[in-house]
Chain A
Amino acid sequence: KNQVEQSPQSLIILEGKNCTLQCNYTVSPFSNLRWYKQDTGRGPVSLTIMTFSENTKSNGRYTATLDADTKQSSLHITASQLSDSASYICVVTGKTGANNLFFGTGTRLTVIP
């Protein structure tokens, strides 16, 4: 069964600190993995996209890693800011079918001053 699991469900950190969010998936075949940021009451916005051959990708203070062998990904946020408070969703794209996106349940990050 194609599944995407994220941990932790929620996280509270102090402003300026770093944090790492985890994503494990069982989707097969695999095309790519995206991390999205979803602010409350808004649609998801793509942060990074990684294909099978990519191990690390950065976008500013966001760094995503992918281990296609163990089917794990992480999103590392450096020097967190209050505006980083949001839900972070891991989305895995399979290769077949029109409905080929598999969503994780997200990690709710709260950055406090």
Chain B
Amino acid sequence: GAVVSQHPSRVICKSGTSVKIECRSLDFQATTMFWYRQFPKQSLMLMATSNEGSKATYEQGVEKDKFLINHASLTLSTLTVTSAHPEDSSFYICSARMGDQPQHFGDGTRLSIL
């Protein structure tokens, strides 16, 4: 089945640093990738949608300068959390889909900002 790989699985870093998370579709070409954030005991909240080769579309309330998304190829999207602060600590999950096919989710990245 379709596999989406997310890396790293866990990051712990100091406040003020920038963190990059990678999302790769391993066996299919992802025309669209999605980035979600999940706080404890809550469901996934969509942050942004990215289509290969074009700018990401951000959900209301998500700062595009804070969360930089790059979808440079059909198999890779990156999310960079710039100048991260403790309130950015969360579980970040990506998903990918090809055309109108169902989304496949990565295993998430646990980000902890000290």
Contact at A104–B108, with CB atoms within 8 Å? no
Contact at B108–A42, with CB atoms within 8 Å? yes
Q: How far is the CB of B34 from chain A (nearest CB, A)?
A: 8
- Inter-chain contact total with CB atoms closer than 8 Å: 40
Q: Which 9 A-B pairs have the closest CB atoms?
A: A43-B105, A103-B43, A43-B107, A105-B43, A44-B105, A43-B108, A42-B107, A43-B106, A103-B44
Interface residues in A, total, Cβ within 8 A: 18
Q: Can you name the residue of chain B whose Cβ is closest to the Cβ of A39? A: B107
The CA of A36 and the CA of B105, in the complex, are separated in Å by: 10
In the assembled complex, B78 has its CB within 8 A of some CB on chain A: no
Per-position contact with B for A38-56: 1 when CB-CB < 8 Å, else 0?
A: 0001111110010000000
A43-B93, A89-B43, A105-B42 given. 6 additional CB < 8 A pairs? A43-B106, A44-B44, A44-B105, A98-B49, A103-B44, A103-B45
The CA of A103 and the CA of B4, in the complex, are separated in Å by: 20
Interface residues in B, total, Cβ within 8 A: 22
Q: How far is the CB of B61 from chain A (nearest CB, A)?
A: 13
Residue numbers of A with Cβ under 8 A of B are 34, 36, 41-46, 49, 89, 98-99, 101, 103-106, 108
In the assembled complex, B32 has its CB within 8 A of some CB on chain A: yes
The CA of A45 and the CA of B93, in the complex, are separated in Å by: 12
Most buried by A among B4, B95, B105: B105
The CA of A42 and the CA of B107, in the complex, are separated in Å by: 5
A-chain residues with CB within 8 Å of residue B102 when the two chains form the complex: 34, 46, 49
Across the interface, B41 reaches (CB within 8 A) one of A34, A36, A49, A108, namely: A108
